[in-house]
Chains A and B, each alone.
Chain A
Amino acid sequence: MKKVLSLILAVVLCLGCTFAFASCGGGETFVSKVGVQKGTTSEMYANILKGVKVASYDTFALAANDMKNGNVDFVIVDKTTANALSSQISGLKVIDNIPLSSENYGIGIDPAQTALKGQIDAILENKAAEIQAIKDKYMNDDTDAFVGVTSAAKNVDNAAGQLVVATNAEFAPWEYASGAEDGGTVYYGIDMEIAKLIADELNMELVIEDMAFDNVVGSVGKQGIDIAMSGITITAERLEVINFSNPYYTESIVVVCKADDTRFDSCGTVVDLLTIICVASEEE
């Protein structure tokens, strides 16, 4: 009996070793390893690149830190956020003169609330000057002008009087939480201040629901959540699930690399950039 058992064990071990070596040596070879944030359009973009190994992180800041640790070669992320990040973390270089793609941020809206889209679009149009001012102060890092936004306690019995916003407050300068004043968490960021503006215009109380980004889009219309503002790009897939306001910002996706990485210095076009990152895009 012992002999039979040891024989089985030996066979299993041999098979295990074979598989382990096979997965190391053979299979697809990668030109580069790219870090992205889970559930973002950057992740979708990276996934269609051929010869690229994609590593998905909870936040793009983790991806950038992992790049500094040498575990990924580049990070693909939205340009505004990339610039905000590189001003906070040293040793990063943003290739912001060559956008990989261009996309529009929109406010996700519960499709069941048919009147809400019209109201929000009207506010975006009428308050364009105020909204531009909000964007400008965050883009210029005019810290003193930032206005903290607090969330009221959610009350599902008062759905009509509350505007519940889903967000992932880990995405400066669009939305992030900072410390506590008067006992509650204070939110900052372009989206948060616009959300406050919309809530005030609609004469509603603002409630902020902070969650993981890959839950934000799917949460709209559930648990009393009316809208989603989290630097969300309008895409065909997302439009199938939720409604979107008119675009309020045009953003581009860029590559971030280590400051001492000189591979991109001679790049002039997207094609130059992609030649370094991947084999050939399946998109073309």
Chain B
Amino acid sequence: MWQEFVKQFITRKGYVNVLNGLAITVEIAILGLLIGIVIGTLIAIVRVMPKYKLLPRVLDKICGCYVELFRGTPMVVQLLIGYWVLLPALDVQVNSGVPVAVIVFGLNSGAYVSEIMRGGINSVDPGQMEAGRAVGLSYATTMMKIVVPQAVKNILPTLGNEFIVLIKETSVVSFIAVTDLYKSFKQLGDPTYNYTVPYLMLALTYLVMVLLISAGVRALETKLKKSEK
């Protein structure tokens, strides 16, 4: 097994391949999560707005549909439709599948993050909003400056979990001709059809990444908890 490792990773310069794949996987996951957080926060705010007027009610319904659509279909199906159906239909050509993957993962993650964020906002005491309004702040300012920051602190573990799920889900992007971490490891086994070492190393790489993320999230949590003391 050690000989196979040396042959695949060192002699054939497989490590360059793997590092390229790693960069793409990390890029898709991080950009996807950032887009997801932005979209998710906006949707969550829309969905917790008081619904006395018509506009918030209509927006709420639209956001509801969006969330159900992206939560209700598998990631890989969304990727396939985006790349092989929507883009050709719109007559758009792209140099690589990476931007498509980033957008699709962002939209998908946005749906999940919005529900996480909604729970977070609801968990903040309504007195916070009332106090903010009572001292003369607008609804939007109170929401962005007082409620959302507290909500983010509450949902941090869940958000970290979402990132972990996202980084593992990126392993399907090879469906749209992107050479990600999974594909780059797989390529190492292709010439000899021997996938034992690449698959084990692949699992190990994902595991290390996820452990690093968990550690990062925990560190961030401890840091944010300081204000509570």
Contact = CB atoms under 8 A, between A and B. Distances in A.
Nearest to A61: B193
5 contacts: A89-B193, A169-B190, A178-B191, A209-B177, A212-B175
B13 interface: yes
A54 B155 CA distance: 46
B104 interface: no
B12 A178 contact: yes
B176 A211 contact: yes
A3 interface: no
Contacts of A178: 12, 187, 190-191
B179 A210 contact: yes
Nearest to A85: B193
A180 B20 contact: yes
Interface string B170-194: 0000111101000110111011111
A179 B12 contact: yes
B62 to A, nearest CB: 30
Given A170-B186, A176-B191, A210-B183, A181 B13 contact: yes
A172 B193 contact: yes
Interface in A64-119: 64-65, 85, 88-89
A156 B95 CA distance: 6
Interface of A: 61, 64-65, 85, 88-89, 153-156, 159, 166, 169-170, 172, 176-181, 183, 185, 188, 209-212, 215, 218-219, 222-224
B95 A172 contact: no
Given A179-B17, A223-B93, A210 B190 contact: no
Contact of B177 (A156, A177, A179, A210): A210
Chain B binding site: helix, strand, loop or mixed by DSSP? helix
Interface of B: 8, 11-14, 16-17, 20, 83-84, 87-88, 93-96, 174-177, 179, 183-184, 186-188, 190-195
Nearest to B190: A176
Contacts of A154: 95-96
Nearest to A146: B191
B82 to A, nearest CB: 12
B170 to A, nearest CB: 16
A222 to B, nearest CB: 4
Which of B13, B187, B193: most chain A Cβ within 10 A? Answer: B193
Contacts of A180: 12-14, 16-17, 20
Contacts, number: 86
Contacts of B83: 223
B191 A188 contact: yes
Closest 6 pairs (CB-CB, A-B)? A179-B12, A180-B16, A156-B93, A177-B187, A211-B177, A61-B193
B151 to A, nearest CB: 36
Contacts of B190: 169-170, 172, 176-178
A223 B98 CA distance: 13
A169 B88 CA distance: 23
A88 B195 CA distance: 12
Nearest to B14: A179
A56 B188 CA distance: 23
Nearest to B183: A210
Contact of A156 (B11, B14, B94, B195): B94
B194 A88 contact: yes
A15 to B, nearest CB: 26
Nearest to B196: A65
B93 A179 contact: no
A155 B17 CA distance: 21
A212 B97 CA distance: 14
A185 B88 contact: no
Nearest to B12: A179
A185 B179 contact: yes
Nearest to A84: B193
Given A64-B193, A169-B190, 16 more contacts: A61-B193, A65-B193, A89-B194, A156-B94, A172-B191, A176-B191, A177-B191, A178-B187, A179-B14, A180-B14, A180-B16, A180-B20, A209-B177, A211-B177, A219-B84, A223-B83
A89 B195 CA distance: 11
Which of A61, A85, A180, A224: most chain B Cβ within 10 A? Answer: A180
A154 B96 CA distance: 7
A181 B16 CA distance: 8
Contacts of A85: 193
Contact of B95 (A153, A185, A212, A222): A153
A153 to B, nearest CB: 7
Contacts of B12: 178-180
A101 B14 CA distance: 38
B153 to A, nearest CB: 39
